[in-house]
Amino acid sequence: MSDPFFELMVDGRTLAQRYRLYYKICRECGARNSPAADKCRKCKSKNLRWKKRTLGIKK
Ligand SMILES: [Zn+2]
């Protein structure tokens, strides 16, 4: 039932989606920064925290 090529595509997609699930939030000004950000793009603060974005599952 499993197609190796299909699984590869699905896996790459999930990886990309997983990466987009996380971003950094500045504790100083609350700005959202990219996961690769070292400091806030707004106030240059290094006081960043990881934020996990929950998938938009509507109930
Ligand atoms: Zn900031």
Q: Among positive and negative, which fits the CA dihedral 22, 28, 31, 35?
A: negative
Question: Containing domain of residue 48, as a range?
Answer: 4-52
pTM: 0.58
User: 59 in a domain, yes or no?
Assistant: no
Per-residue model confidence (pLDDT) at position 49: 95
Determine the distance separating the centroid of ligand 1 and the alpha carbon of 47, expressed in angstroms.
8
User: 58 in a domain, yes or no?
Assistant: no
Determine the distance separating the centroid of ligand 1 and the alpha carbon of 18, expressed in angstroms.
24
- Write down the residue that tokens 């990881």 correspond to: 50
Per-residue model confidence (pLDDT) at position 54: 72
| 14/12 Cα distance (integer angstroms) | 5
Per-residue pLDDT of the chain (59 residues; tens, 9 = 90+): 667 766 666 666 666 666 667 899 999 999 999 989 999 999 999 999 999 877 666 66
Determine the distance separating the centroid of ligand 1 and the alpha carbon of 4, expressed in angstroms.
44
Per-residue model confidence (pLDDT) at position 7: 65
Question: Which CATH number belongs to the domain containing residue 28 in this structure?
Answer: 4.10.1060
Determine the distance separating the centroid of ligand 1 and the alpha carbon of 56, expressed in angstroms.
26
Determine the distance separating the centroid of ligand 1 and the alpha carbon of 1, expressed in angstroms.
49
